[in-house]
């Protein structure tokens, strides 16, 4: 049996703008049509995608998607960073008083909205929550878009480091004797900050750090749970990207980084590939509307785009000979209806099931003979 048959979690990662949210929804629809009780978590979906699934908008609470002819069920939810970060604070706080002090602190709201990693952390927390719910057969997670997809893996660790005791003590001035030399520098820096932001802000920030005391161990534990889940044989990690020089370099760097965490990519999905179009002299092109110079220019553009994409498809496959590289052609017409999304999901799942079953047994490190992006 191919390894993708018994995968329970499908993690869809990749940069913004490559169509991964649509692919995640499409895959979830197809899994439900095949009889699985499925849940999909989406991140900032387009309104038209929500409408295609039968909603006016996505909500943080689960919403059931009606799929005609499906033998399974599909539930969808949108990531709500604030909601799940509040749940984390409630879980890790040592007391009801500590929880209330943090949740009501004005700096906490600013941190959740702007501190790097909170969005990714919330996505991983929601994934752990779904994974613990045994009522779902399949879980599809559309991860937050990022130019550096490794942010998804390092977010829990970075947040734990932010709340580390040594950091808190540094700001509170409780540094060991051998750091007295730096204490003066810290006080000078604090005076400078005070002159810029005012004493009230610094006092508020200090009280916020005091409130976080003792919570970093909880964040570290969740980080370990995330890493363990991503490395579980039941989890499939799919990286969606585009066939361009920039995405090529980015993908190889990402693969190398996750290897350091003993996490293997199960498939690379090259989305929205242009199909070969007829040449201007081809009879199929005679039906195109417009002047001949315009038609020739359009056809020349798509020929060049198709050729350029094929160059990078070949580069991906040469650099990653043991990793399934799945080609998804650009879909014609509107993708914003369940039937069309299901067709796309069927194409993706069919490609996964036909791919080589070596995701958890062999290294995914790029070969030395990989072509250099230029």
pLDDT score at 238: 92
Under the banding of pLDDT at 50, 70 and 90, the label for residue 187 is: low
Report whether pLDDT(107) > 90: no
Nearest-10 crossing angle of helices 81-92, 216-230: 120
Report whether pLDDT(289) > 60: no
Whether 316 contacts 364, CB under 8 Å? no
CA distance 296 to 163: 60
Higher pLDDT: 13 or 149? It is: 13
Under the banding of pLDDT at 50, 70 and 90, the label for residue 143 is: confident
Looking at 155-164, 195-204, 234-243, which range is the least confident one?
195-204
Q: Which of 167-181, 271-285, 293-307 is modeled with the greatest confidence?
A: 293-307
Higher pLDDT: 203 or 65? It is: 65
pLDDT score at 242: 94
Looking at 32-36, 84-88, 96-100, 144-148, which range is the least confident one?
144-148
Report whether pLDDT(74) > 60: yes
- Residues 213-263 have pLDDT tens digits of 667 677 778 778 888 888 888 999 999 999 999 999 988 888 887 787 777
- Residues 305-318 have pLDDT tens digits of 888 999 999 999 99
pLDDT score at 180: 41
| Closest alpha carbon to 156 in 196, 188, 117, 195 | 117
pLDDT score at 37: 96
**Residue 248 C-beta-side C-alpha neighbours within 13 Å:** 21
Average pLDDT across the chain, whole number: 76
Q: How confident is the model over 339-358, as a mean pLDDT? A: 80
pLDDT score at 201: 58
- Residues 39-48 have pLDDT tens digits of 998 876 677 6
Whether 222 contacts 128, CB under 8 Å? yes
Looking at 87-96, 189-198, 236-245, 292-301, which range is the least confident one?
189-198
Report whether pLDDT(181) > 50: no
Measure Cα distances from 124 to 41, 143, 159, 228 in Å: 11, 8, 13, 12
**For the chain, which domains are there?**
3-160+219-276+285-354 (3.40.50.300), 164-211 (no CATH)
Looking at 2-11, 255-264, 280-289, which range is the least confident one?
280-289
Q: How confident is the model over 48-54, as a mean pLDDT? A: 75
- Taking the C-alpha atoms of 110, 111, 115 and 120 in order, what is their torsion angle to the nearest 10 degrees? -110
107 sits in which H/E element? helix 106-114
pLDDT score at 336: 67
Cα 115 from chain centre: 17
Higher pLDDT: 160 or 237? It is: 237
Report whether pLDDT(163) > 70: no
Higher pLDDT: 109 or 172? It is: 109
Which residues lie below 8 Å from residue 177, measured CB to CB, with a gap of 6+? none
186 sits in which H/E element? helix 180-197
Structure tokens at 154: 């390092």
Report whether pLDDT(164) > 60: no
Report whether pLDDT(70) > 80: yes
pLDDT score at 31: 95
Higher pLDDT: 322 or 165? It is: 322
Measure Cα distances from 370 to 187, 250, 315, 316 in Å: 51, 14, 7, 8
CA distance 216 to 101: 16
CA distance 248 to 85: 33
pLDDT score at 373: 42
pLDDT score at 291: 67
Higher pLDDT: 12 or 298? It is: 12
| Closest alpha carbon to 349 in 360, 339, 341 | 341
pLDDT score at 27: 94
Whether 359 contacts 266, CB under 8 Å? yes
pLDDT score at 338: 82
| Closest alpha carbon to 144 in 272, 16, 8, 240 | 16
Under the banding of pLDDT at 50, 70 and 90, the label for residue 75 is: very high
């Amino acid at each position: 049996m191919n390894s993708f048959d018994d995968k329970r979690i499908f993690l869809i990662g990749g940069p913004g703008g490559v169509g991964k949210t649509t692919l995640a929804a499409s895959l979830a629809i197809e899994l439900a049509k095949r009889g699985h009780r499925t849940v999909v978590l989406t991140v900032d979906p387009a309104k038209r995608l929500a409408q295609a699934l039968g909603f006016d908008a996505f909500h943080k609470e689960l919403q059931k998607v009606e799929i005609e002819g499906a033998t399974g069920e599909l539930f969808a939810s949108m990531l709500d960073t604030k909601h799940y970060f509040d749940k984390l604070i409630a879980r890790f706080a040592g007391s009801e008083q500590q929880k209330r002090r943090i949740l009501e602190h004005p700096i906490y709201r600013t941190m959740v909205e702007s501190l790097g990693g909170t969005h990714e952390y919330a996505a991983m927390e929601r994934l752990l929550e779904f994974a613990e719910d045994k009522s779902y057969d399949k879980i599809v997670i559309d991860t937050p878009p990022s130019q550096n997809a490794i942010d998804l893996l390092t977010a829990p660790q970075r947040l734990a480091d932010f709340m580390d005791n040594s950091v808190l003590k540094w700001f509170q001035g409780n540094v060991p004797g051998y750091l007295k030399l730096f204490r003066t520098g810290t006080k000078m820096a604090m005076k400078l900050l005070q002159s810029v932001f005012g004493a009230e802000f610094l006092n508020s920030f200090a009280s916020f750090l005091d409130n976080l005391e003792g919570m970093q161990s909880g964040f570290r534990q969740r980080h370990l749970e995330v890493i363990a889940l991503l490395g579980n044989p039941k989890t499939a990690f799919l990286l969606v990207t585009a066939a361009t020089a920039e995405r090529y370099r980015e993908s190889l760097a990402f693969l190398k980084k996750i290897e350091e965490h003993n996490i293997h990519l199960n498939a690379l999905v090259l989305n929205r590939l242009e199909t070969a179009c007829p040449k201007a002299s081809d009879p199929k092109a005679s039906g195109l509307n417009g002047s001949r110079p315009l038609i020739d220019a359009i056809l020349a553009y798509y020929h060049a785009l198709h050729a350029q994409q094929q160059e990078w498809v070949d580069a991906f496959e040469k650099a990653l000979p043991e990793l399934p590289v799945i080609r998804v052609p650009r879909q014609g017409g509107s993708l914003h209806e369940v039937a069309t999304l299901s067709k796309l999901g069927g194409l993706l799942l069919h490609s996964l099931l036909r791919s080589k079953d070596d995701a958890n047994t062999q290294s995914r490190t790029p070969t030395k003979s990989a072509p250099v992006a230029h």
